[in-house]
Amino acid sequence: MTQASGDGLDHLFQPRSVAVIGASADAARIGGRSIAYMLARGFEGAIYPVNPNRAEVQGLKAYASVASLPAAPDVGIVVVPAPAVVQAVRDLGARGCGTAIVFSSGFAEVGAAGGALQADMIEAARAHNMRVLGPNTLGVFDPRANFYGTFAAIFEGGFAKRGGIGIASQSGAYGGHLYTLARARSLGLAACVMTGNEADITVGDAIARMVTDPDIDVIAAYAEGINNPDKLLAALEAARRAHKPVVFMKVGRSVVGGLAAQSHTASIAGDDAVFECILDECGAVRARNTEEMLDIAHLATRKVYPVGNTLGVFTISGGAGVLISDAAEALGLPMPPMPAVAQARLKSHISFCSAVNPVDCTAQIVQEVSLISTFGETMMVDGGYRSLLSFFTYTGASSTFGPQLRGQLAALRRKHPDRLFALSIIAPREVIAEYEADGLTVFEDPSRALAAIHAMGRFGEAFARPPRAVPLDGAVMPLPSVTPNEAEAKRMLANAGIATSPEELATSAAAAVTAAARLGFPVVMKVVSADIMHKSEMGGVLLGVDSADAVRTGFATLQERAKVHAPAARIDGILVAKQLTGGVECILGIKRDAVFGPIVLFGLGGLFVEYFHDVQLRRCPVDEREAEAMIRAIKGAPLLLGARGRLPADITALARMLSRLSQVAVAAGPRLAAIDLNPVLAMPAGQGAIAVDAVIEIREPG
């Protein structure tokens, strides 16, 4: 895997000198905004406006060219028309500049000619080992250094306070949107990088640099597409190992189309589902929307990431307790009950309270404020909850009750610094700020608090995981030049160590009868053609064929159906297979994702996969331990584990096959588009797993 690093990005975050190529005296223009912002905020480094038509710009000495600058700038901001950008970048590189920020548009985003110009620009930068942010970028800003290498208008509304959240956004406008919302919520920001076209510096680069930044505690990332998956994977893994949470918003929920959509695996494992599994593997948490992204980032700055997260709810409202319980169950956030002894202890204080969990102390607590610490301490010690959500709605802002509530909850938090505390109240901004200063993260909506609390537990579990290391086992499956038919596909898989059903290919009715007699009745008969991907839809599969006469009739029937339904298809014969019974139908598959390479899929077969999409995905390869975890993670796993008196399936054999398939996919290389094993019969324990049907799709040259 590519090493995660922010190579060459140090100057981008906290530069000591900045040149602006195309500097404007007008602070409202693109070439003038960054200078105006830095002057207003007191940037302590040198600012070098470059404008051949002016002696000064915004009170600063101007320079006619990059070559005439008094020193090599750490950063060069390029604000000239696209045709002049390549020369500007070349000049900056020759002068020894570390990084160029290219605001200019008119590159790859506008077509082939712009793409060629963008390539020329990067070539010019690389000749001098200079990094490039953009083009078509809104830039970067780092409040810690009062560096504002951006022309965004967001600062006309004010500046956010400094804090531990870093933003890495592919979109400039959306990066600014995140900044504006964070500022409105008084969230503290450390830096924001907006990568634009990502001709060089990507979101992955920005994340990698933020991982190494001691002032950044949490990284909020936004992307529309992934341009360098290796860098992103390395950066996310580096963040996981550093216990630095990444909350990621990825838009563009497309499903792969074209040839690959012929595969069940490919159509189920769409681009978005693959990205979801990649984030989960790397320990990042995906945000469903902007509000959730900022909620998670906000709570993550507390640096409490519970392993084995459990939720205790302390409320003055029974109704809110029910709402919270419903939301927690939907998230899969455990809410175990209080021990019976502890429940009795709480009821001795307020006989009519509900002491199970949620613990509803009722409005009586307002009259007996000292019981807040009693109830809270009992929940922490006896309940052992890793997270506590307290719901006190508008009473939290009460001038008489609020200060006492705040004091007791703050004392409880100080006593249990390893626990996560969230509070749901409605209060003025200045009151919320007081609670927040005490380490109590405030949410008006308890459902939003739950989503963030659940995310902290996911971070904790990810940070506790050992690094993912799956050595390749030497699996080899040579690929033919074109997509094979089913019989050929099964031979390939069998040679690679994947068990398939006993079968023979017959090219005549007589040969089919002989094969059936050898295999033993009943048999299954199928049309064999690489041109027919889904045989059952055109009646190309016959089950329960139980005599020689039935085989002869079936042979003729299948040939006729193939002629009617697929007249242009090449028919290679009729497959005669032993009909197997007694197993649970599963699907095992491979999809080569355009960004992240081969992805392995597991689910139950038949209607379960067609309609419920109850599947698990992982990036290839997986070992047998991870393969078994995938099998046990599907919702339908009880059908494999012996639910309702069923015989448990051979999970060990199934996991071995899944792991082997993932190894084969890696070894096969980029010409492998997809593999479908559907169904695979998971036989009773000790009897193995057998692929009954197989499709292998080959990506043909060109």
Q: The domain that contains 533 carries what CATH number?
A: 3.30.1490.20
Residues 325-332 have a mean pLDDT of 96
**DSSP letter assigned to residue 188:** -
- CATH code assigned at 592: 3.30.470.20
**Whether residue 626 has pLDDT greater than 80:** yes
More confident residue, 253 or 348: 348
Same domain, 134 and 30: yes
Peptide bond into 358 cis (omega under 30): yes
Instruction: Return the structure tokens found at 363.
Output: 């409005």
* Alpha helices by DSSP H, 379-503: 402-415, 429-437, 446-464, 486-495
Q: Please tell me the distance from the alpha carbon of residue 639 to that of residue 585, in angstroms, as a whole number.
A: 10
The pair of structure tokens assigned to 689 is 């797993």
Q: Is 279 a domain residue?
A: no
H-assigned helices in 152-289 = 172-184, 203-211, 229-241, 264-268, 271-282
Q: What is the Cα–Cα distance from 296 to 453, expressed in whole angstroms?
A: 8
- 275 lies in some domain: no
- Give me the phi and psi of 296, to 5 degrees please: -65, -45
Q: Does the model's pTM come out above 0.75?
A: yes
In a domain, 481, yes or no: no
327 and 296 fall within a common domain? no
Considering the domain boundaries, does residue 271 fall inside one?
no
pLDDT in tens, 595-616: 899 999 999 987 667 667 889 9
* Strands 503-506, 573-578: pairing kind: antiparallel
Q: What is the pLDDT of residue 2?
A: 40
- Asked if the structure places residue 484 within a domain, the reply is no
The mean-pLDDT minimum among 106-115, 229-238, 363-372, 470-479 falls in 470-479
Respond yes or no on whether the N-terminal peptide bond of residue 522 is cis (omega within 30° of 0): yes
Task: Report the distance separating Cα 621 and Cα 628, nearest Å.
Answer: 13
Q: Comparing 94 with 582, which gets the higher pLDDT? A: 94
- Distance separating alpha carbons of residues 224 and 209, to the nearest angstrom: 20
Distance of CA 360 to the CA centre of its chain: 37
Binned at pLDDT 50, 70 and 90, residue 528 comes out as very high
pLDDT digits (tens, 9 = 90+) for 644-663: 778 899 999 999 999 999 99
State whether 521 and 559 are in the same domain: yes
Q: What is the structure's pLDDT at 73?
A: 97
291 and 155, same domain (yes or no) = yes
Residues 42, 54: Cα–Cα separation, whole Å: 23
For residue 460, give the CATH number of its domain: 3.40.50.261
CA distance 602 to 596: 18
Q: What is the mean pLDDT of residues 388-400?
A: 95
pLDDT tens figures, 467-526: 887 777 777 899 998 999 999 999 999 999 999 999 999 999 999 999 999 999 999 999
Which of the four pLDDT bands, split at 50, 70 and 90, describes residue 701? low
Q: Give per-residue pLDDT as tens, 567-588.
A: 999 999 999 999 998 899 999 9
Banded model confidence at residue 702, pLDDT cuts 50, 70, 90: low
Copy the structure tokens of residue 512: 């089919």
What is the structure's pLDDT at 535? Answer: 87
- Tell me, what DSSP letter sits at residue 648? P
Q: CB neighbours (10 Å) of residue 700?
A: 11
pLDDT of residue 607: 67
Cβ proximity of 678 and 605 under 8 Å? yes
Tokens of 61: 């000495």
The answer to whether residue 646 is domain-embedded is: yes
**Residue of 480, 657, 486 lying closest to 577 (CA atoms):** 486
> Domain holding 209: CATH number?
3.40.50.720
| pLDDT confidence of residue 476 | 83
Pairing of strands 584-593, 597-604: antiparallel
Residue 475: the pLDDT is: 77
Q: In the numeric block, which tokens belong to residue 58? A: 């915004």
More confident residue, 266 or 32: 32
pLDDT for res 474 = 75
- Residue ranges of alpha helices (H) inside 332-387 are 340-349, 364-367, 371-378
443, two tokens: 């949410």
Question: 460 and 508 share a domain?
Answer: no
Other beta carbons within 10 Å of 311: 28
Structure confidence at residue 261 as a pLDDT band (50, 70, 90)? very low
Do 610 and 534 lie in a common domain?
no
Domain contains 268: no
689 shares a domain with 544: no
Query: Are residues 375 and 515 located together in one domain of the fold?
Result: no
For 169-209, how does the pLDDT look when each residue is reduced to its tens digit (9 = 90+)? 999 999 999 999 999 999 999 999 999 999 999 999 999 99
Domain span including residue 621: 584-698
Cβ-contact 130, 124 below 8 angstroms: no
- Give the 3-state secondary structure percentages of the chain, helix then strand then coil, rounded to 5: 40, 20, 35
Name the domain boundary from 578, 604, 627: 578
Query: In angstroms, rounded to a whole number, what is the distance separating the alpha carbons of residues 17 and 19?
Result: 7
Residue 1 lies in a domain: no
For residue 10, pLDDT beyond 90? no
Mean pLDDT of the chain: 93
Q: In which band, very low, low, confident or very high, does the pLDDT at 116 lie, cut at 50, 70 and 90? A: very high
Under a CB-based contact definition with an 8 Å cutoff, are residues 140 and 194 in contact? Answer: yes
For residue 253, is pLDDT > 90?
A: no
User: What pLDDT score was predicted for residue 582?
Assistant: 87
Please indicate, yes or no, whether residues 205 and 295 belong to a single structural domain of this protein.
yes
* Cβ atoms 133, 193 nearer than 8 A: yes
- Relative to beta strand 441-443, strand 387-393 is unpaired
Quick one: pLDDT at residue 366? 87
The letter for the amino acid at 596 is: F
296 and 318 in a single domain? The answer is: no
Closest CA to 262 of 679, 690, 673, 686: 673
Write the DSSP string, 39-77: HHHT--SEEEEE-TT-SEETTEE-BS-STT-SS--SEEE
Q: 567: cis peptide before it, omega within 30°?
A: no
Query: Considering its fold, how many domains does the chain have in total?
Result: 4
Q: What confidence tier does 15 reach under pLDDT thresholds 50, 70, 90?
A: very high
Tell whether the model's pLDDT for residue 256 goes beyond 50: no
Res 344 pLDDT > 90: yes
- Give 252's pLDDT tier (boundaries 50, 70, 90): confident
Instruction: Indicate whether 81 and 229 sit together in one domain.
Output: yes
CB distance 574 to 540 below 8 Å: no
pLDDT tops 90 at residue 340? yes
Q: How far apart are CA 163 and CA 186, in angstroms?
A: 10
Q: Which residues pair with 113 in a beta bridge?
A: none
AA letter at 50: V
- For the residues 367-392, what does the mean pLDDT come to? 95
User: With 60 as the cut, is the pLDDT of residue 13 above it?
Assistant: yes
Is residue 356 domain-shared with residue 293, that is, in the same domain? no
The yes-or-no verdict on residue 251 having pLDDT over 90 is no
